[in-house]
Amino acid sequence: MTLILASTSASRKAMLDAAGIPYVAQAAGVDETALKRDLIGVCPTQVAMVLAEAKALAVSLATPGALVLGGDSLVDVCGRQFDKPTSRDQAAEHLAFFSGKTMALSSAAVLARDGHVVWRTVETAKLRVRPLSPAFIDSYLHSEWPAVAACVGVFRIEARGVQLFEHIEGSHFTVLGMPLLAILGALRNQGVVSA
């Protein structure tokens, strides 16, 4: 059975590659901004789930018979939801806001086939951001920008982004952007991965 990852995320591809899961990556082409406009006031885990489902279903409808994995991650700090930064200046603003606060990072995953959801889950990790000085933020972005432009929390945990945090509670895979252990279980149940 063909597994399609409805994403071009380097982190999600790296997780599947490392786990030895064969797949084909395909961009979902979903207008996330338009979907989010309809989700104002909705809890972050539900927003992540709706976006992951939209991506999985969009690709699933275009590829009959294939099992499609859609995913999405959302960052919430003090009740405010954050998107990927659109500029280095905005990234610096996000990091300054995160400083000394706890970030809730929700990662949702959905499997769909023939336009129907067959499985879904969402996991949330809590990341305590240490106090960040303006000098650190500038130095950090000097080395990490533009790579972190594609990251909703303005960090790559597998790179210098680990320096932002003093405590992390939750799955490392969820922090990377996908609840991988739950996904592997679902793929075993769907016959994609041998049990």
Distance, CA of 112 to CA of 181 (rounded, Å): 18
Which H or E element spans position 42?
A: none
Using the 8-state DSSP alphabet, how is residue 131 labeled? Answer: P
Contact 69/110 with Cβ under 8 angstroms? Answer: yes
Find the angle CA(129)-CA(135)-CA(136) to the nearest 5 degrees. 35
**How far apart (Å, rounded) are the C-alpha atoms in residues 133 and 86?**
21
Q: Can you tell me the distance from the alpha carbon of 49 to that of 61, in angstroms, rounded to the nearest whole number? A: 18
Is 114 assigned a catalytic role?
Answer: no
d(CA 108, CA 122): 4
Given the residues 17, 72, 76, 89, the one annotated as active site: 72
Collapsing DSSP states into helix, strand and coil, what is residue 145? Answer: coil
Q: What residue type is assigned to position 145 of the chain?
A: W
What residues are annotated to the active site?
A: 72
